[in-house]
Amino acid sequence: MSAEGGAGRIVLPEIDSTNAEGFRRAPGLSRPTWILAGIQTAGRGRRARPWASPRGNFHGSLVLKPAERAETVALRSFVAALALRDALVRLSGLPGSFALKWPNDVLCNGGKIAGILLESQGLGSRDPVLCIGIGVNLIAAPEPSMVEPGAVPPVSLLQETGLRILPETLLDALAPAFAAWEETLQTQGFAPLRTAWLAHAARLGETIRARTGSETREGRFETIDENGNLILRMKDGPVAIPAAEVFF
């Protein structure tokens, strides 16, 4: 087994979107494959928002063909977040600098350093495809004015730590970390990932806001449940939220 857990690797100088490229290449892939791009010309985040993709930052996707139910497939966001945190800690030696923000962001010194986007096609069919897109601000971050009010301000690894890490170097650490957490999910289920994720969760036990569409709920971030849902303690009791945007 390779250092990447048996996964392949494709490195491209420029592409529109690594997730889009993953879907294009999926029919010809016989094993999990990482796609890394020097530049993305049409990178995107959640809700199809543009994702800034300058050269030197990390723009990558892992292409999988999962056979599980959609609810289990969605847990790969926690696999990716835990793996990315492990990789950043390993390369920086700064475990106290990195935290996890529900549902799938990684923070550095309180600022957003990375985002994770899961996109799928054909789940439950004979040809399912999951692309796990990961963007990391290694050397540059968008201006704070580019994010909406109340959102976590973006930061870069270089800005926060003084470390300059190449995207290929990050992938060298990220791929085996993902493979290890993936094996844990496959052999032990979500419980150990839930425990590990909560150990590094940002604002656990504090008051946060969760926005779903036009509705915003405010409450105490109590935990995540066995399905990865956010549990928000409201005045009338705990509420399970499967998907939302979280503001601190």
For residue 173, the surrounding DSSP H or E stretch is: helix 167-188
Task: Identify the pLDDT of residue 141.
Answer: 94
Spell out the residues 6+ positions from residue 226 whose beta carbon is closer than 8 angstroms to its own.
190, 191, 194
Domains along the chain?
A: 8-199 (3.30.930.10), 207-247 (2.30.30)
Distance of alpha carbon 113 from alpha carbon 54, whole angstroms: 14
Q: What is the pLDDT of residues 152-201, one digit of tens each?
A: 999 999 999 999 999 999 999 999 999 999 999 999 999 999 999 999 99
pTM score, two decimals?
A: 0.93
Helix, strand or coil, per DSSP, at residue 85? helix
Better-predicted residue by pLDDT, 50 or 141? 141
